[in-house]
Amino acid sequence: METVAQMTVALRRFNLNRQRFLMRTHFFTKCLDDITTDFHKQYGSFYLDWEATAEACAEYIEATDDYLRSRDIIAIEFALLLGTIETAQTAYAQKKAVKKFKELMEICQSNDAVTIAEIDEDIDNVRSVYRMIAVAECERED
């Protein structure tokens, strides 16, 4: 059935999108690792900026992990709906499962887009801290 093939592709894209979240989590983890090592201690006057950035990175990691867990649960729901569509005994049951799949996928795609945009904004904020300190260090050396 054409619809099942299209929904299977949509589900694969949904699952691949998980990698986008993992890459962003990796960014925050790397920043947190940099900050919590001795890296930030050389910037004495910026210590509080680094402390706040480290706390923010830890919160971003936790929030992204929570979001990924909820996506994983939803992915299971998608798989169950696909199974229902493929094995439905009546056209009505199949139509109902297709409708629910499409509605849920639309909501998830919208949520992913908004969440990715928010995470990217957070990444820009963390990068701004790095830039601010780099500029201040250059000025201090002059």
Taking CA atoms, 69 is separated from 19, 45, 72, 107, 124, in Å, by: 13, 38, 5, 16, 24
pLDDT tens digit string along 46-83?
Answer: 777 778 888 888 999 999 999 999 999 999 999 999 99
Instruction: Convert 130-140 to b/e letters by CB count within 10 Å (16 or more is b).
Output: eeebeeeeeee
The structure's pTM equals: 0.78
Task: For 8-54, write each residue's pLDDT tens digit.
Answer: 999 999 999 999 999 999 998 988 887 777 665 666 667 777 788 88
CA angle 132, 67, 118 (to 5 degrees): 35
Q: Where are the domains of the chain?
A: 2-141
Tell me the residue length of the chain.
142
